[in-house]
Amino acid sequence: NAGVTQTPKFQVLKTGQSMTLQCAQDMNHNSMYWYRQDPGMGLRLIYYSASEGTTDKGEVPNGYNVSRLNKREFSLRLESAAPSQTSVYFCASSVLAGGLNTGELFFGEGSRLTVL
């Protein structure tokens, strides 16, 4: 099992460029998440999708858009990248039972994005 796969692993962008981070999970999980991790800030939730067909804003959604393409895939798009979006981005998935996340999150290995 591959688990959660993120692409690309590394990316350098110039200010104003756009890009999409891809995430796919093969565990048949209902819920998927995008987090960003910055030094001294821990992990902050950008967007999440509780189930296929739904997406919701997290703590820091500004400057990002997401698409839950199907149950397996959840992409994160930066329309006009800014230096403040330099970060490590993590995709995660989990089982959602009865509307409650009672289980663990499975994380991808991260995508390291630098915006110049």
Partner 1 sequence: SQQGEEDPQALSIQEGENATMNCSYKTSINNLQWYRQNSGRGLVHLILIRSNEREKHSGRLRVTLDTSKKSSSLLITASRAADTASYFCATVGSGGSNYKLTFGKGTLLTVNP
Binding residues for partner 1, per CB under 8 A? 4, 31, 33, 35, 40-45, 48, 50, 56, 58-59, 90, 92, 96, 99-110
User: What's the Cα-to-Cα distance from 20 to each of 61, 66, 76, 111, rounded to whole Å?
Assistant: 15, 9, 6, 11
Closer to partner 1 by CB, 40 or 53: give it: 40
CA 49 to chain centre: 10
Nearest distance from residue 16's CB to partner 1, in Å? 28
Closer to partner 1 by CB, 72 or 107: give it: 107
Q: Which pair of tokens denotes residue 60?
A: 């820091």
